[in-house]
Structure 1
Amino acid sequence: MFAVHCGTEVGFSGPAPRTYRSSEWAERGFCPTCGTHLFYRLLQGDEYILPVGVFQDQAFQLANEVFIDEKPAYYELKNQTKKFTGKQVFEMFASR
């Protein structure tokens, strides 16, 4: 999944998203009309992470790759990024 870290100040137009607690430390939001996944929110720190597909006409530069230890061996992204294993990701968020 390609996602954008959007911080805490996120607003939505249209019907208010519905949410469900997907783990002890995060919840997911979706459109109540069509079911489209809209965000992943870290409960500690209230940080929103949105899939790039919800943005139209925006340019993004890939900066980080997470769960790199679970990446299929048959692909490699072209640009240089910071790479984090799953363990490193969980440690990073646990320290916030």
Structure 2
Amino acid sequence: MLSIDCADSVKISDEKSVTRYSSSDWAERGFCTKCGTHLFYYLKPANQYHLPIGLLKTDNDFKFTHQIFIDEKPEYYAFSNQTHNMTGAEVFAHFQDEG
């Protein structure tokens, strides 16, 4: 999933249209209750939302800065710019330290 880190700046205007699934002790996933579209990934300890980039109307002024679960990426793609990369183990260790 290509997402944008929105920190805590996400405001949900109609929470009853969102189903939150607690996918771990430290994260939730949000879905539309009507169509099932994935709306966000929410990191509880950091109060941090990550939204799929395709949900946003934007001027495309984003910087691609990091990749997670890099050890699980398909071999057939690679991005040209340099990013901070974390393996799955590094991601889990990072969020266990915060929680």
Tell me the TM-score range normalised by the shorter chain. Answer: 0.7 to 0.9
Correspondence 1:50 to 2:51:
yes
Correspondence 1:7 to 2:7:
yes
Correspondence 1:64 to 2:66:
yes
Consecutive aligned runs of 4 or more in structure 1 exceeding 2 Å deviation: none
Gaps in structure 1 of 5+ consecutive residues? none
TM-score where L is the length of structure 2? 0.84
What is the deviation of 1:9? 2.5
Alignment partners' CA distance in 1, 2:41 and 2:89: 19
Q: Is the 8 A contact 2:26 2:95 kept in 1?
A: no
What is the deviation of 1:24? 2.0
What is the deviation of 1:3? 0.9
> Aligned residue for 2:23?
22
Alignment partners' CA distance in 2, 1:45 and 1:72: 28
What pairs up with 1:69-88 in 2 under 5 angstroms?
69-88=71-90
Compute the RMSD of aligned alpha carbons. 1.4
Q: Percent identity?
A: 45
Q: How many residues matched?
A: 95
Secondary structure class of the residue paired with 1:95: helix
What is the deviation of 1:65? 1.0
Gaps in structure 2 of 5+ consecutive residues? none
Alignment partners' CA distance in 2, 1:72 and 1:34: 28
Structure with the higher helix share, 1 or 2: 2
What is the deviation of 1:37? 0.7
TM-score where L is the length of structure 1? 0.87
